Amino acid sequence: MTTVINTTIDTSILDIARNSLVDGVSKTGDLIQGYADVLCKVFNTKNMAGETIEHWFNLVGKDKKGIKEERARFVTAMMARGHVKPDGKPSATVDTYWMRVKEASGYVPKGRVTGGTDVDSKTLAELKTMINRILKSEEDGQDCNASMFKGNLMEVFEGMGGDVDNLG
């Protein structure tokens, strides 16, 4: 298998994507994905067929040089927009957004289970938690307004593929 490493870096497209993210953090979902897509396009290692064989966030050694430089530009841009701790170092927000970009690129943090991170899986799990909380409060003799909606929540839970017999 022959690998092709992106040796020429179009920094202008990285500048646009990075600045779009940093300038518009209130619209982070689309902007993070856009920046992640560009990082993947520029830095992922691909084979001759154009298939990704190594993601940018897994690169090491000299292959990681461009990533380190881009990360430094990202940190500088975020700090220039006020994401700085009193000691002059980057705030935790900088690392948080960088991690979100990595995750949008396909990175799975250690300890996180894969396959259950889509919206429907999360929603199903949260519905189960809410319904179980209501059931527990009822068992404890508490009167809560949420009990009025328990049936609706159970219908939605079941409609999304949940098993109401396994609640409680």
Task: Give the tens place of pLDDT for each residue, 99-126.
Answer: 999 999 998 877 655 554 577 778 888 8
The whole domain housing 127 covers 119-166
**Residue 127 and residue 167 in contact, taking contact as beta carbons nearer than 8 Å:** no
Percentage of residues of the chain with pLDDT beyond 70: 86
Domain match, 98 and 22 both: yes
Sheet of 45-47, strand order: 3-4, 45-47, 52-54
Domains of the chain: total: 2
Which residue, among 9, 2, 111, 105, has the nearest Cα to 57 in the 3D structure? 105
Are the C-beta atoms of 100 and 31 separated by less than 8 Å? no
pLDDT at 40: 95
Write down the pLDDT at residue 37: 95
Does residue 98 carry a pLDDT above 80?
yes
How far apart CA 104 and CA 41 sit, in angstroms, is: 13
Domain match, 100 and 133 both: no
**For position 143, what pLDDT does the model report?**
84
Q: Which neighbouring-strand residues pair with 4?
A: 46
Inter-axis angle of helices 92-104 and 28-43, nearest 10? 70
Same domain membership, residue 124 and residue 99: no
Asked if 11 and 61 sit in the same domain, the reply is yes
Average confidence (pLDDT) over 116-144: 83
Is 114 part of any domain?
A: no
DSSP string for 38-77:
HHHHHHSEEETTS-EEE-GGG--GGGGHHHHHHHHHHHHH
Are residues 151 and 82 located together in one domain of the fold?
Answer: no
Same domain, 100 and 33: yes
**Tokens 């300890």 appear where?**
111
pTM (predicted TM-score): 0.55
